[in-house]
Structure 1
Amino acid sequence: MAKKPTDDGETITESAVISEHIDDALSSRYLAYALSTITQRALPDVRDGMKPVHRRILYAMRQLKLNPEGAHKKCARIVGDVMGQYHPHGDQSIYDALVKLSQSFSARYPLVNGQGNFGNIDGDSPAAMRYTEAKMTAAGLALLEGIDEDAVDFIQTYNEEDVEPQVLPAGFPNLLANGSQGIAVGMATSIPPHNVAEICDAALHLIQTPNARIETLMNYILGPDLPTGGIIVEPKSSMLKTYETGKGSFKVRCRWEVEDTGRGTYQIVVTEIPYQVQKSRLIEKLAEVIESKKASGLADVRDESAEDVRIVLEPRSKNIDAKILMESLFKVSELESRVSLNMNVLDNTRTPRVMDLKEVIQSWLDHRRDVLQRRSQQRLGKIDLRMEVLDGYMIAFLNLDEVIRIIRFEDKPKEELMRVFNLTERQADAILNMRLRALNKLQEIEIKTEYDKLAAEKAELEALLGSEKKQWAVISEQVKELKKIYGPKTEIGARRTHFEDQPDIDVDLSTAFITKEPISVVLSGMGWIRAMKGHLDDESSLKFKDGDNLAFCVNAHTTDKIIIFASNGKFYTLGADKLPGGRGNGEPIRLMVDLENDHVPVGMFVHDESRELLLASSEGYGFRVQESEIIASTRTGRKTLNVKAGTEAVRCIEVKGKKIAVIGENRKILTYDLEELPVMTRGKGVRLQKFKDGGLADITTFDPEEGLFFRDSSGRRTEVNDWELLEGKRAQAGRMAPRGFSRKGVFDPAKTL
């Protein structure tokens, strides 16, 4: 057989070389890695809610006898035992997992009682493991209860020198109580903590009513109960869907209150923050919000926390409503966050899948029943062995003289005892090992009493194993005892996270903290703009520079948005509170928006997103547009009506009727239905009227019942008689205007913006 040399001089045979396609090799090896990550690292078991590292930590602590009533031991000792016996990975990852089990702001019911610096809610790291100490809590001990009574299966450790539990007996509903977070290969899990008393109530109801709906279970489990408290504002219907599908999220807000600081001023104090939000990072973000003016109502933020959370928020003005200020902060900071739920867990066959709320609780109950059966079976086996020995003792007492003779004179007393009295090997050994002092009348009575007691216990266990109803009754009692320990009236069991309906407050951050005051916005023909206090009734009192005059004047409030439509077909948006004051002539509009020198404003009005506008160009093209579509977010404006060179946008009017009337520079009028003009968001539009010469002079909308009006040369509002004669289809030429129609060729200016 051919051999090949290796780098170290040795040779290998060709039969030892495995030929495999690179795709197959990578696929098989990556699949093995993915499965290992899913089952051995990232996803918890639905029965005990633990990942292997957490399970090994608790089991190692039990081996070290770190019970709640005992003393603490160095975390370095615990980590060393876990790494050396059960978990062949880095010591830091084991210590991090141990720390998480002890942090009261991470675990709702800590499984480890830590002593020393185990980190804080600010995100500071814990002290090194050589400085900290730990022992188990009552909840951690409950997870291990009965582990020595054949309650669960054991598997060999990584070095096959010892054994470890594949799952814990789980006398505590750890999966829902403490939740779990993990990222595997192609899947993840995220389960927030819940209240144990509520879980117990739901479990008891599920035992009584196995076909219960999740909607019914939610009468007991109200929602997550987070270690850091907070307020859940998620609708009930949304939470129901989340628990039914096993996937979703919950909106959580901080808990806050208003403190009166005297003289009409106040400050807001945050006492609870959302789950998994670092307090120091939250305060940094709030400082950035103040600096960037994303919430202009907030003036300062201070951290006055000691053992409890106390974050102080100072409003910029005492006139700012506290609720509106907080709603604005919820939008731009982690004072409001979403806690996700993805109940992707390993079921009792170690298969990953997403479970709903009912399946998770039922899986825990089924596991508790399996543990009960195994513990009872194991106890039954021990009873049988002890009763067998006691039977032998009773035979010895009844035949004491013969037993003594056989022991004294026979060469093989064990075999002789078994032959003469028909004893088992275990009974014969027990008799031979019996002390002489036990051969008294009192001891005989004790043996009979013990035998009768064991016989009664055996009968109870056999009845228990033979009755499913009795098994569920025992589990119900166990759950009730657990609820007593973690009931709503206990310090650790009281619900921390509460529920509220989200306030129906629609906060516009751009205007939320602006004092609403009446103003008059004035734009001159030369493009100078200003905002004067109050609403003007008499525009003739306005003064302008020499050669300048009034172009537009609108009454508004400081909280409004002012819209300017220019001849280039663009809309520009200005905040009314940011306009220059009424003293002097104001400021040029071109300092506020990028308006070309060869274009001018042709319309100015207060924004109302419920309105519909009609735009028209001098060429006679136009369309309708919703006012909600025209807001410009930058000073460059929002291009809406496309106009080519030599053409300008000339009209922007509010749609107020069902008919459109168009007049060209040739004094021909055309009316038609409004529905013939399409609604668009941007473009050139469609032809409004056909012109042989000239272009568009004016356009308006009107209701047929009210009639069509125009302003004559003396300014009087005059009705157009027989306007029906002017009716046609869009893009037609129309008919000559009736006698007396305005020489300027315009309709009623009152209909325009």
Structure 2
Amino acid sequence: MAGDLAGHVEDTRLAEALSERYIAYAMSTITSRSLPDVRDGLKPVHRRLLYAMQQLRLDPTSGFKKCARVVGDVIGKFHPHGDASVYDALVRLAQGFAVRYPLVEGQGNFGSVDGDGAAAMRYTESRLTETARIMLDGLKDNAVDFRPTYDNEDQEPLVLPGLFPNLLANGAAGIAVGMATNIPPHNAAEIYRAARLLIEKPESDTAALVELMPGPDFPTGGILVEDRAAVLKAYETGRGSFRTRARWEIEKGRAGTWSIIVTEIPYQVQKSKLIEQIATAMEQRKLPLLADVRDESTTDIRLVLEPKSRNTDPDVLMETLFRNTPLENRFSLNMNVLSQGRVPGVLSLKSVLQAWLEHVHEVLIRRSQHRLDAVLKRLEILDGFLKVYLNLDEVIRIVRDHDEPKIGLMKAFDLSDLQAEYVLNMRLRSLRRLEEMEIRRERDGLGKEQASLERLLGSEKRRWKRISDDLTRMEATFSEGPYSARRTTIADAPVAVDTSAALEVEREPLTVLLSRKGWIRAMKGHGLDPAGLRFKEGDGADFIVECQSTDRLCLMASGGRAFTLKVADLPRGRGFGQPVRTLADLTQEDHPVALFAAGDETGRCFLVNSAGRGMIVPVKSLLAEKRTGRQVFNLKDGEQVSFCIPAVGTHVLCLTAHKRALIFPLDQVSEVNRGSGVVLQKLSGSTLKQVRLFSLEEGLIWREGQRKRALTDLEPLVARRGTTGRVAPQWMLRK
């Protein structure tokens, strides 16, 4: 066979080959790596971790083992990937601030809410928690299917059977190919109550479920302030977001002073980065009411926020922090999971609970059938014991005299193959304990259990009643202990707090500098000496704008997009500032064409592109209070905006690189809010070198040091817009 394939070449179109292989890769990523299963809420790596730890007998009551041993077993037997990724997954299952109900109990340094990483796996130890034990319960009872491991040397479960709603209780996050998932943690007791409602009233809608589980329950606490209608819509569609805020309180000080103490922060917000972002916002003067921030945390979070004045309203201060820092954060909901035979899809809350209940129902059937088979087997064995217990001497004679004692026993006592096998395998010391009363007592007990199991398997109603009772028992289990109480408080949507008066920027003269390499900063005062300005090596001033701290700047980019920058938000000090691309979403191909103060919104700008087209745009149409700016000039491929100048004057003067000059009235150019412009001058393969606006009656100073050109000098160049113009006079070309 190998000889037949050697040298075989098959022609395939590259597009088809790439498509086939990429689809295979994408499906592998989706189903075997990134998306959780709706039944147990686990990705393969987490499922393999828990199963490997069970095989190592790391039960909640046993001792700890080194995490390196656990990771080694996982990657050696079940998960052929890097040890770092497996250890990271193990660490997350043990972090109480990352998962609501930890599945791994760690001993050692497993990281912190500050964003600190865990210690190396050779130092840390771990074992399963009681929650993980519940999830693994039933694996030995044929509750789920197993499949061969990657090397066909062992078996691993396709899904875990335990009665714990891990997908909703602990949440999940993952990025696959073309899709992602993001599910927040919830309170387990609330999930059990909602699941029981679906058993009792399958027609219940999402609104009824949300009454029992009103929102996420994050391990870091906080306050959920999302509108109730938005929460309901998110759970109905499987997509949405939840707005959470930090929990805070006022702490009184001496002489009427006070400070704000933050005790809980939003989920997945690192405390150290949060403090950095608050400090950065203070430097950028976005938090004018805040004087200082201190971290006094130990095992519990304690951030101290000091106001600049004791007369400050605490609600206004916190509102400024919520608007400008991650003390208010949004958690996106995207319940994209594997269901219906490992098919990815976005499910609603009701669909997720129904899928989990169907899994619980199937597990109950399989475990009950497994137990029934074991009971029937034991009953058959006991029946065989009852047949032979009064004739033990005959049994011994048959075993001693017959060449095939099993056949002899089967004929003498009418035994089945299984019964004869067990009689033969019985030890001599067990013969004295073979008493009829004990056998019949055990047989009667198993007979009752058999009848109960057969009734259970024969009635779907009984099975759902059994599941409901189990859910009630589990609800009671998770209503006690350290993880029972809800941590995230459900609150109404906050009332809008007016912070405009508190955030008024003090008016002062500033000079804004934008360098050739795109660094922008603001410096105090006007009339700065250009020679005294410092820039990075190889850089220099591109635009110098004198303005006020309360002004807004308009940045016109070569790509035809206009951006608005608040002067108050620009960095100050003696540094080099910050890249303007962090304030405005400029593409790598774009560069600033103009930067000016947009104080007078009644003004107009004259825009000209490299193809010789131009238009007049009101300044107010250039303003856009967003990072992406506003597209004003519609450009074709290869074009860019070349000039952006104030539309002041009566006439336009254009000069091409081929020394053709043209003057025409400004009123021949249309005024629009957005467009492609009109032809100003026919370029005939050239480019525009200079564009000027001026008053024809007042004349024009073309270059500093030259005399003003009067009407008689300019009139020969006046023609209709869109013509090629005349040869430029020498005073225009003279350097």
The TM-score with structure 2 as length reference comes to 0.69
Residue matched to 2:51 = 59
**Which one-letter code corresponds to 1:500 in the other structure?**
A
The aligned residue for residue 136 of structure 1 is: 128
Q: Tell me the secondary structure at the aligned position of residue 411 of structure 1.
A: coil
1:232 is matched with: 224
Q: 2:8 pairs with 13, 16, 26, which one?
A: 16
Q: Which of 103, 117, 130 is matched with 1:125 structurally?
A: 117
Amino acid in the other structure paired with 1:170 = G
Counterpart residue number, 2:691: none
What code does the residue aligned with 1:497 have?
Answer: T
Aligned mates of 1:272, 1:306 — CA distance in 2: 13
Instruction: Tell whether 2:237 aligns with 1:245.
Output: yes
Name the counterpart of 1:371: 363
Q: Which residue of 1 aligns with 2:485?
A: 494
**2:213 aligned counterpart, secondary structure:** coil
The Cα shift of 1:631 comes to 9.1
Q: Distance in 2 between matches of 1:80 and 1:594?
A: 62
Verify the 8 A CA contact 2:97 2:220 in the aligned structure 1. yes
Q: Does 1:512 align with 2:502?
A: yes
- Is the counterpart of residue 361 in structure 1 residue 349 in structure 2? no
Report how far residue 505 of structure 1 moved. Answer: 2.4
Q: SS at the partner of 1:161?
A: coil
Partner amino acid for 2:324?
A: V
How far does the alpha carbon of each residue in 1:548-568 deviate from its partner, in whole angstroms, 9 at most, with x for none?
Answer: xxxxxxxxxxxx9999xxxxx
Tell me the SS of whatever aligns to 2:174.
Answer: strand
Alignment correspondent of 2:293 = 301
Following TM superposition, by how much is the alpha carbon of 1:345 offset from its aligned partner in structure 2, in angstroms?
A: 0.3
Q: Is the 8 A contact 1:406 1:417 kept in 2?
A: yes
Q: CA shift at 1:438, angstroms?
A: 3.8
* Map 1:106-185 → 2, pairs under 5 A: 106-185=98-177
Structure 1 residue 332 displacement after superposition: 1.1
How far did 1:310 drift? 0.8
Matches within 5 A, 1:205-604: 205-440=197-432, 443-487=435-479, 490-509=481-500, 511-513=501-503
Distance 1:329 1:252 in 2: 13
Aligned mates of 1:512, 1:286 — CA distance in 2: 18
Give the corresponding residue for 2:83. Answer: 91
One-letter identity of the residue aligned with 2:30:
I
Partner-residue secondary structure (3-state), 1:164: strand
In 2, are the aligned partners of 1:328 and 1:507 still within 8 Å (CA)? Answer: no
Quick one: distance in 1 between partners of 2:566 and 2:74?
A: 66
Cα displacement string for residues 568-625 of structure 1 (whole angstroms, at most 9, x for unaligned residues): xxxxx9999xxxxxxxxxxxxxxxx9899xxxx9x9xxx9xxxxx9x9xxxxxxxxxx
2:46 pairs with 1:48: no
- Asked whether the 8 Å contact 1:320–1:513 carries over to 2, the reply is no
309 and 441 in structure 1: CA distance in 2 versus 1, 3 angstrom threshold: closer
Amino acid of the structure 2 residue aligned with 1:259 = E
For residues 262-317 of structure 1, give each alpha carbon's deviation from its aligned partner in whole angstroms, at most 9, with x where no partner exists. 22221111111111011100100100011110121111111111101111111111
Matches of residues 700-719 of structure 1 in structure 2 within 5 Å?
none
* d(CA) in 2 for partners of 1:319, 1:628: 38
CA 1:595–1:193: 2 relative to 1, 3 Å:
closer
Q: 2 CA distance for matches of 1:247 and 1:512?
A: 36
Report the alpha carbon displacement of residue 112 of structure 1 after superposing the two structures with TM.
0.3
Provide closer, same or farther for how the CA distance between residues 151 and 562 of structure 1 changes in structure 2, counting only shifts above 3 A.
Answer: closer
Q: How far is 1:469 from its partner?
A: 1.1
What corresponds to 2:531 in structure 1? none
Deviation string 1:190-247 (CA, Å, 9 cap, x unpaired) is: 0000000100110111110111100100010110000111111110000000000000
1:192 counterpart residue number: 184
C-alpha distance in 2 between matches for 1:99 and 1:574:
44
Alpha-carbon displacement from aligned partner over 1:694-726 (angstroms, at most 9, x marks no partner) = xxxxxxxxxxxxxxxxxxxxxxxxxxxxxxxxx
- Is contact 1:230–1:497 with CA below 8 Å preserved after alignment? yes
Amino acid at match of 1:512: A
Structure 1 contact 47–348 (Cα < 8 Å) conserved: no
User: Is residue 28 of structure 1 aligned with residue 24 of structure 2?
Assistant: no
Q: Return the alpha-carbon distance in structure 2 between the equivalents of residues 231 and 494 of structure 1.
A: 14
Against the structure 1 CA distance between its residues 452 and 119, is the aligned structure 2 distance closer, same or farther, given a 3 Å change threshold? same
For each residue in 1:120-168, what CA deviation from the matched residue of structure 2 results, as whole angstroms up to 9, or x when unmatched?
0010110000000000111111100010110100000000000000000
Partner of 2:74: 82
* Count of residue correspondences: 550
Per the normalisation by structure 1, the TM-score is 0.68
Distance 1:220 1:401 in 2: 68
Match for residue 573 of structure 2? none
> Aligned-pair distance for 1:171?
1.6
SS at the partner of 1:148?
Answer: helix
CA shift for structure 1 position 479: 1.1
Contact 1:247 1:343 in 2 (8 A): yes
Which protein has the larger Cα radius of gyration, Structure 1 or Structure 2? 1
Task: Find the residue that maps to 1:299 and give its secondary structure.
Answer: strand
1:444: Cα distance to partner? 1.8
CA deviations on 1:526-561 (whole Å, 9 max, x unpaired) are: xxxxxxxxxxxxxxxxxxxxxxxxxxxxxxxxxx99
Structure 2 match to 1:724: none
Among candidates 182, 196, 202, match of residue 204 of structure 1: 196
Q: Is the 8 A contact 1:248 1:340 kept in 2?
A: yes
Percent identity, aligned pairs only, is 52
Q: 2:315–2:497: 8 Å Cα contact kept in structure 1?
A: no
Structure 2 contact 551–597 (Cα < 8 Å) conserved: no
- The alpha carbon displacement at 1:335 in A equals 0.7
| Shift, 1:436, TM fit | 3.9
Distance 1:404 1:159 in 2: 48
SS, match of residue 224 in structure 1:
coil
Aligned mates of 2:310, 2:403 — CA distance in 1: 105
Deviation at 1:20, TM superposition (A): 1.4
Name structure 2 gaps, 5 residues minimum. 507-548, 553-564, 569-594, 605-617, 626-643, 652-671, 676-735
